[in-house]
Structure 1
Amino acid sequence: MSNLDVRPAAARCGGREEVPGGPVRELLEPRRVPLGESTVVRRLLPGLGRRMVGAWCFVDHYGPDDIEDEPGMQVPPHPHIGLQTVSWLHEGEVLHRDSLGSVRTVRPRELGLMTSGGGIAHSEQSPRHHARLLHGAQLWVALPDGDRHGPPSFEHHAELPVVAGSGGLAATVILGELDGAASPGRTHSPLTGADLTLAEGTGARLPVEPDFEYAVLTMSGRCEVDGVRLDPGSMLYLGCGRRELPMRAESDSTLLLLGGEPFAEKLVMWWNFIGRSHEEIARARADWAAGSRFGAVRGYEGPRLPAPDLPPVPLKPRGRTR
């Protein structure tokens, strides 16, 4: 997954100073961003007011889009450093290729997890013969300093644990742990990612960790989370300090729960790179432009994605909110 902005703004993320010590209810407004040839996403993180939720630092929600007569997702080869990407689908398929030689079609409720380490390149596209609808989320997780220079990897997990909660709630654990169930995906900091389903008219109380900060993204349906009504595509930041999260579905609903320990390190996030300094980001951009470090993605028909120009002022790591 990629940030395809031709003039990407630097997001200065991390640090615990701006993490609320107790529960909050902060509705995050998305902005519409084109992704590839025919996909438009709703970008919820990073935003003007909120940059991170735990180690989660990038959230795009797209669809449901009717792509029966369209190419669908077409994201050319592009580089990453300092992060993990999480592909999560409710409908459709995404064909992943990377510079390790991985080729995998990710389908609904399967985990596609790529760890960039010191550098990796990948492409994402809808297969030539694809389903009519495409609906999912693209997510990034920031890697802590001790793990961000390690070897790159790609994992695909078709089977994930499901937690049955009270009131008809079911939760598929995408990453990390939830209510005693653990995803097989490798993590590098304490976090939670889960896909929640609630039937119309039902309510539930989901156990959560009081030391984690959380946010909930409504994928489909209409529901209330901690008393706040959410429509599809909206994201509610919840802060810390809860032991349970009350939810009630007005219609059949699906949500993504994202959470984790507040990420203490301060980051620079620019284009598809997460680093700790302007110099590190500039070096990664130069390596991509020179065709070194990141390897080649085989099998994608078309040119790779060129890196945009760096901004005229140095990038500085500070702050979780603007």
Structure 2
Amino acid sequence: MSNVETEPEEVRCGTEVDGEPPAGAARVDVLTPRDVPLGGPRAMTVRRTLPQRARTLIGAWCFADHYGPDDVGDTGGMDVAPHPHTGLQTVSWLFSGEIEHRDSLGSHALVRPGELNLMTGGHGIAHSEVSTARTTVLHGVQLWVALPEAHRDTARNFQHHVPEPVAVDGAEIRVFLGSLAGTASPVPAFTPLLGAEILLRPRATVTLTVDPAFEHGLLVDRGTVRLADVPLRPAELGYVHPGPGTLTLTNESDTTARAVLLGGTPFDEEIVMWWNFIGRSHEDIVKAREEWQSSSDRFGAVDGYPGARLPAPVLPNATIRPRGNPPRR
């Protein structure tokens, strides 16, 4: 998905360390999203949880859009024209609906519920995303992963994986990246990561063993889910600092709750993120934008999309300034 804001915030991200949380204690911060329209007056609106001023990264997860359930008869659904990416991976995960993906690698795939579609931008890639005519309700998340310095110029790539559901106590879990609940995704990652969808039966509680070196984020889609001692309502994200070896989730609703659990080791590199580009300096962003605008070979071409590609927004009239995560106390 493209960040189609007309004035995208410039973000320079890094992890600042000032002490460690108490061993084994789950300290939860609640992050609330902001609404971002994907285009025109009848546009589909997404709820953006990352990045924000309170937190810019959870592990290498640097962008989280949560959308739907969206009646495409009212909004027209998703129609994101070809646009570029550098220095990141996109993770598409649907709860309902169907999206047609095309990219400059030549990939032509359908994104369906419970199926991982992971695209590696690396040095440069372009893609389009359009909800299909079969879609009546569109609902899911779009996530980005920052690539570490050693791999940020890696070759473009596209992978598809269908994780098998795993039953644990009152939960059903689909692990699309990393490992959890005794199951692991075969999809490789460039930094230690976790990504999983969790369904919790009404009033059920599950305790999950997690890597204490990870920080975690639980994005609630439906229901009220208590994470440790903190209730999270739909669209809220509970951030857990590194340290705990277990996470306890309780569905406080009388219907099935759904959440997406993200995790990873703190990303200790400073990155600059603007529009759809991730680099290490303001100059990296300027160069990527110039090459997209000039239709250079860096990004390639997307075949099959019936329309023009997205132009890049105007750069801010200033050097991109640092913004990091708050210190870990």
> Aligning the two structures, in what range does the TM-score lie when normalised by the shorter sequence?
over 0.9
State how far apart, in whole Å, the 1-side matches of 2:32 and 2:19 are.
19
Give the conservation status (yes or no) of the 8 Å contact 1:213–1:239: yes
Structure 1 pair 9–248 and aligned structure 2 pair: CA distance change class (3 A) = same
Residue identity in the other structure for 1:221? G
Residue 247 of structure 1: aligned partner:
249
Given that 2:33 and 2:48 are in contact with CA atoms closer than 8 Å, whether structure 1 keeps it comes out as yes
Residue 230 to residue 135, structure 1, CA distance change in 2 (3 Å): same
> How does the TM-score come out when normalised to structure 1?
0.95
TM-score by length of 2: 0.93
Aligned to 1:183: 185
Q: Give the letter aligned to residue 297 of structure 1.
A: V
Q: Distance in 2 between matches of 1:16 and 1:98?
A: 36
* Cα distance between partner residues in 2 of 1:221 and 1:174: 22
RMSD value, Cα: 1.6
The alignment status of 1:265 with 2:265, answered yes or no, reads: no
Provide the secondary structure at the position in 2 that maps to 1:7: coil
Alpha carbons 1:198, 1:249 under 8 Å: kept: yes
Q: Distance in 1 between matches of 2:317 and 2:212?
A: 41
**1:152 match:** 156
Most deviating of 206-215 and 34-43: 34-43
Taking a change above 3 Å as real, the CA distance of residues 284 and 18 of structure 1, as seen in their structure-2 partners, is farther
State whether residues 160 and 184 of structure 1, in contact with CA within 8 Å, keep that contact through their aligned partners in structure 2.
no
Task: Give ranges in structure 1 of 5+ residues lacking alignment.
Answer: none
8 Å Cα contact 1:68-1:130 kept in structure 2: no
Q: In 1, Cα distance between the equivalents of 2:188 and 2:89?
A: 10
Contact 1:94 1:125 survives alignment (8 Å): yes
SS, match of residue 27 in structure 2: strand
Listed as ranges, the gaps of 5+ residues in structure 2 are: none
What does 1:1-322 correspond to in 2, within 5 Å?
Answer: 1-17=1-17, 21-22=21-22, 23-37=26-40, 38-68=43-73, 70-127=75-132, 129-157=133-161, 159-166=162-169, 168-251=170-253, 252-292=256-296, 293-317=298-322, 319-321=324-326
Write the deviation string for residues 151-195 of structure 1: whole angstroms up to 9, x where unpaired.
1001111x21433223x1121101111133211222100010010
1:10-65 CA deviation, whole Å, 9 max, x = no partner?
11112342796353211101100011452100000001110000000000000011
Is contact 2:100-2:111 (8 Å) kept?
A: yes
Letter in 1 for 2:95: H
3-state SS, counterpart of residue 286 of structure 1: helix
Q: Which runs of 4+ in 1 moved over 6 A?
A: none
